[in-house]
């Protein structure tokens, strides 16, 4: 463990700069996530109007994900990443400066475009700065850990700002501060992140083309069978984790009969567990090997979700619930980093877009099913259903995914 921690400090300079600036991204997103819905409610919007607004944002992200991933090959991931951060900042500021629903849709479009640009470029750019696959796993897990920790910090900062009167002045200030933090974040990344090595990118892209050189030109532009396989697997995994992940506060509140402050406290502690598990993910991979680690974490999650289905004392539910959060984080980080790491440089951009689209589809279907179950006041069945889908995911990993990773 000591050698592992020392290895984190020896990551390449590009990775270290990326991780340092990730803290600002977490703070900005944390502030935005906490106050946006409250701000919209204070401006007179109803819950169904907010739901429609969010749905439009998800639709925009789904439409743009693959085209943006292709643009990354042409314009460079760093440029698109910085542009995405500034788009999110612009959306926050526009939200804060207007009270008309038409402008809210424009603001949501800006945020959705920005999130698409960020989500389809940041992991590939981070991996580009790494010198080895070991560095890639460590960097990926550290990025998630830093983001999780500072998202919590941003949430706390926004929560301590006064909400003001019925006009939501305090929420407006929080959105403006979030926009300012994101502008600083985007500027910092534009100035201090190293430039991408075009020579290395071209070399790897040529290698990919040579491997498929016997195919017609139009076939070369299509995703490989492995990309389709990975994307379908990500839809399955994303759906499994969304069954409970989309409704954690609702499940805890009504299954335990708690007040909102107790629910918030438990979820805050869960955030700390996520941070620790993110730091330990690379150690698990290096200690037990990638495949053994993934299979083991799959099995642990299946057992945990099955156990949470049964009636139990509150204290035992809390412990298993927190451990579940760490297990889910490890599983997601292990799979995400391993699949991205085995791909060629050129394929990574396209996979990022396909992963985003397929994961969104899987999560949307799972969220709908979970909402239908919870509407019947059954706060236990989502855990059992998650366990079943994870079992299917484990079979798919061992039967189809694992052979492509060796």
Full DSSP string of 303-361: HHHHHHHS---HHHHHHHHHHHHHHHHHHHHHHHHHHHHTS-HHHHHHHHHHHHHHHHH
Identify the structural domains of the chain with CATH numbers, from first to last. Answer: 20-199 (1.20.1250.20), 223-406 (1.20.1250.20)
Place of tokens 């463990």: 1
How high is the pLDDT of residue 162? 65
| Model pTM above 0.75 | yes
Query: Which segments in the chain show pLDDT lower than 70?
Result: 1-9, 47, 162-168, 198-222, 260-261, 264
Q: Residue 189 phi/psi, 5° resolution?
A: -65, -35
**Which structure tokens are listed for 82?**
């910085």
How high is the pLDDT of residue 226? 92
How high is the pLDDT of residue 78? 94
CA 59 to chain centre: 17
CA 284 to chain centre: 20
How high is the pLDDT of residue 208? 41
Q: Residue 206 phi/psi, 5° resolution?
A: -65, -40
Full DSSP string of 263-295: HHHHHHHHHHHHHHHHHHHHHHHHHH-HHHHHH
* Interatomic CA distance for residues 349 and 368, integer angstroms: 29
Cα distances from 403 to residues 22, 291, 396, in angstroms, run 34, 10, 11
**Which structure tokens are listed for 158?**
């926004």
How high is the pLDDT of residue 346? 75
* Interatomic CA distance for residues 372 and 381, integer angstroms: 11
Whether 263 and 249 have beta carbons less than 8 Å apart is answered as: yes
* Interatomic CA distance for residues 224 and 226, integer angstroms: 5
How high is the pLDDT of residue 217? 53
């Amino acid at each position: 463990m000591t050698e592992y921690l020392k290895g984190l400090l020896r990551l390449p300079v590009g990775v270290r700069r990326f991780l340092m600036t990730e803290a600002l991204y977490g703070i900005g997103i944390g502030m935005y996530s906490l106050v946006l819905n409250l701000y919209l409610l204070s401006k007179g919007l109803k819950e169904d109007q907010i739901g429609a607004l969010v749905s439009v944002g998800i639709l925009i992200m789904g439409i743009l994900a693959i085209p943006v991933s292709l643009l990354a090959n042409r314009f460079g991931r760093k440029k698109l990443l910085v542009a995405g951060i500034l788009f999110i900042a612009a959306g926050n500021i526009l939200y804060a400066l207007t009270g008309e629903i038409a402008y809210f849709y424009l603001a949501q479009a800006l945020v959705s475009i920005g999130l698409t640009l960020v989500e389809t470029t940041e992991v590939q750019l981070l991996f580009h700065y790494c010198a080895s696959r070991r560095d890639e796993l460590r960097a990926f897990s550290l990025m998630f850990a830093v983001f999780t920790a500072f998202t919590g910090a941003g949430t706390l900062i926004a929560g301590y700002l006064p909400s003001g009167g019925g006009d939501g002045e305090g929420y407006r200030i929080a959105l403006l501060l979030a926009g300012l933090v994101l502008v600083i974040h985007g500027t910092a990344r534009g100035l201090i992140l190293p430039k991408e090595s075009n020579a290395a990118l071209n070399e790897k892209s040529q290698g990919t083309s040579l491997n498929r050189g016997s195919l017609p030109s139009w076939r070369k532009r299509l995703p490989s069978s492995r990309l389709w396989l990975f994307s379908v697997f990500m839809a399955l995994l994303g759906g499994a984790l969304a069954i409970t992940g989309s409704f954690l506060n609702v499940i805890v509140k009504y299954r335990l009969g708690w007040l909102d402050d107790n629910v918030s406290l438990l979820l805050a502690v869960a955030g700390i567990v996520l941070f620790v598990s993110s730091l330990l993910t690379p150690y698990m991979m290096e200690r037990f090997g990638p495949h053994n680690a993934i299979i083991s974490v799959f099995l642990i999650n299946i057992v945990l979700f099955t156990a949470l289905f049964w009636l139990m004392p509150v204290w035992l539910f809390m412990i298993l619930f927190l451990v579940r959060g760490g297990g889910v984080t490890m599983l997601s980080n292990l799979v995400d980093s391993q699949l991205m790491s085995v791909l060629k440089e050129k394929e990574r951009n396209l996979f990022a877009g396909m992963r985003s689209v397929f994961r969104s589809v899987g999560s949307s279907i799972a969220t709908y099913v979970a909402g239908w179950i919870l509407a019947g006041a059954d706060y236990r069945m989502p855990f059992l259903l998650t366990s079943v889908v994870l079992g299917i995911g484990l079979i798919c990993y061992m039967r189809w995914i694992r052979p492509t990773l060796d």
